[in-house]
Amino acid sequence: MHYLFAIWMAFFLLLPIPVCAKPTDAFIEENSQANQLALTAQEHDWIENNRTVTMIGDTTWLPFEGFTEEGSYIGIVAEVVNLIAEKSGLNFEVNKTASWRHSIQFSEGQQVDIISASASNPLLEKNYRATHSTIKSPIVIIARDSVAYIPELSTITDLRVAIVGGAGYGNIIKKSYPEIDFIEVEEISDGLIGVAENQYDLVLMSMMVASYQMAELGLYELRIAGITDLEMELTLFVNRNKPILWHIIDKIKRLETKQERHQILSKWAKNQHVERYSPETVRIFLLLSLFLIVFILHRHYLLKNNDQLLNKLSQRDALTNMYNRGYLNQIISEQITLSQREGKRFSLIIIDIDNFTQVNKKFGHSIGDRLLQQFALLFDENISNKATVGRWGAGEFMVICPNEKLKETLVSAEKLRSEIDQAIFINVGKKSACLGVVEYNRPESQDRCLGRLEKALLSAKQQCAIAK
């Protein structure tokens, strides 16, 4: 869906763009109705008594926010703030901070009313509350040109990966990829320059910020090497001591139309590029960028799907579509780790079809294969969803029962043996099976546990032979 939208945008860019387009009366009426702001009496009174609200802005966060040499507040956030001021009648007094760390220090003392930042920022959320977010940007992986395309961040190993410390989406990245030991940098430029100078292998940040800052810093040796499934959400945080102000701003943000959002983004983009590039150059650049994004997203989609398919194939038995022995060994290893670390119990059941080789000899391998598939269906219908079942050998199956003691598993195994005895299999008729059951005894090894399971199965076979 992302790349279909990008294709539509590319088509839109090819259309003639009027220098000045006056909206129709019908559009103005529709837009105004959809964007009517209904403030309560309490909110009106608050605005009357608090016309000026204070805010701080980061000097190094363009295109979201920054300051001109003359000290004017600019960027996407500045346009959002202007729209809020226009609708509410509030005046915004914006002061700049030396760095993001400096902004965090302001928030700890609740010295200002509003701070712009990415959502889900625990450092801000202690004293500030996030308003509704309407601007989102995907988190991308930035690397040098020599680095190959990275379809999934979790696939990388032994690489130095940087993120901006204190950023809200930085916390989301760390939670999403706990296996990666991220390196925190102070500023966006530190991360980008660090990758360019080979201090880090990768840096993660918002696509909007990355594209803008790479161009501003002249880091043409860097590129977008991959796109994650995460997004940075741009929002305004309001001082928790001023709940009415939060309600006012949140209400205005929720009423923001797509047209207003488009005007905010396009107006600021125009202000940044009109003096350096012609309109045709800008259009061609945007078109090429969109096609590049389409290609990256489509390739990411295909590679991710292929990875999922290959992963599934590597875990499944081709004949029965059950989990294979390799995957079952992996699950047993994980259960052993949980048992040794957290004291959790688990048990194993091994099922061996009696005289399975005779079925192949008497009826042929195709009938033997059909019998295995029928057993797989029987297990699917009679084994709990909490358990993991798979094919262990030629005529053997394994069931891994988490959080179960031996006594409970023995009951389950006996029910399963009874179901097998009562079943009538196509082309074969009645068929029996022997079952071995053990509970994992901490801290024994996996090989020892499986050895005990094989002995339990052998004992069951001997008892069956005596009974017969």
Q: Is the pLDDT of residue 4 over 70?
A: no
- For residues 305-325, give the mean pLDDT: 75
CATH architecture of 2-133+233-304: 3-Layer(aba) Sandwich (3.40)
Cα–Cα distance, 347 to 326 (Å, whole number): 18
Cis peptide before 63 (omega within 30 of 0): yes
pLDDT of residue 187: 86
| Residue the block writes with tokens 């099976």 | 433
Mean pLDDT within 312-321 = 79
Least confident of 116-125, 423-432, 434-443: 116-125
- Confidence class of residue 150 from pLDDT cuts 50, 70 and 90? confident
Domain residue limits, the chain: 2-133+233-304, 137-231, 325-467
- Pick 325-467's CATH classification: 2.60.120.260, 3.90.650.10, 3.40.50.12780, 3.30.70.270: 3.30.70.270
User: Quick one: DSSP state of residue 24?
Assistant: P
**Per-residue model confidence (pLDDT) at position 200:** 95
Q: Is the pLDDT of residue 91 over 90?
A: yes
135-139, 141-145, 190-194: which range is least confident on average?
A: 135-139
Tell me which fold the domain 137-231 belongs to: D-Maltodextrin-Binding Protein; domain 2 (3.40.190)
3-class DSSP state for residue 117? strand
Could you read off the pLDDT of 267-283 as tens digits, one per residue? 655 444 333 344 556 56
Q: What is the pLDDT of residues 156-165, one digit of tens each?
A: 778 899 998 7
CA distance 134 to 12: 22
Own/partner contacts of 297-303, CB < 8 Å, gap of 24 or more, are 297/2, 297/3, 297/6, 297/227, 298/3, 299/149, 299/151, 300/151, 300/226, 300/227, 301/3, 303/149, 303/151, 303/152
* Whether the domain at 2-133+233-304 and the domain at 325-467 fall into the same CATH topology: no
Residue 251: which H helix or E strand, with range?
helix 243-254
More confident residue, 203 or 258: 203
Q: Cα(450)–Cα(460) distance, rounded to whole angstroms?
A: 15
pLDDT of residue 252 exceeding 90: yes
User: What pTM value is reported for the model?
Assistant: 0.50
13 vs 235, higher pLDDT: 235
The chain-wide mean pLDDT, for the chain, equals 83
Percent of the chain's residues with pLDDT above 70: 85
What pLDDT does 1 receive?
Answer: 47
Nearest in space to 397 (alpha carbons), one of 439, 465, 348: 348
CB burial string 274-284: b at 16+ within 10 A, e below: eeeeeeeebee
pLDDT at 457: 92
Q: Give the pLDDT confidence score for residue 151 in this predicted structure.
A: 80
Q: Which residues contact 297 (CB under 8 A, 6 or more apart)?
A: 2, 3, 6, 227
Identify the pLDDT of residue 313. Answer: 58
Q: What percent of the chain has pLDDT over 90?
A: 42
pLDDT score for 396: 93
Q: What pLDDT does 276 receive? A: 39
Chain length of the chain: 468
pLDDT at 22 over 60: no
Sign of CA dihedral 278, 209, 79, 10: positive
Is the pLDDT reported for residue 20 higher than 80? no
Evaluate the CA torsion angle 402, 406, 412, 413 in order and state its sign: positive
Can you read off the two tokens belonging to residue 266?
A: 């396009």
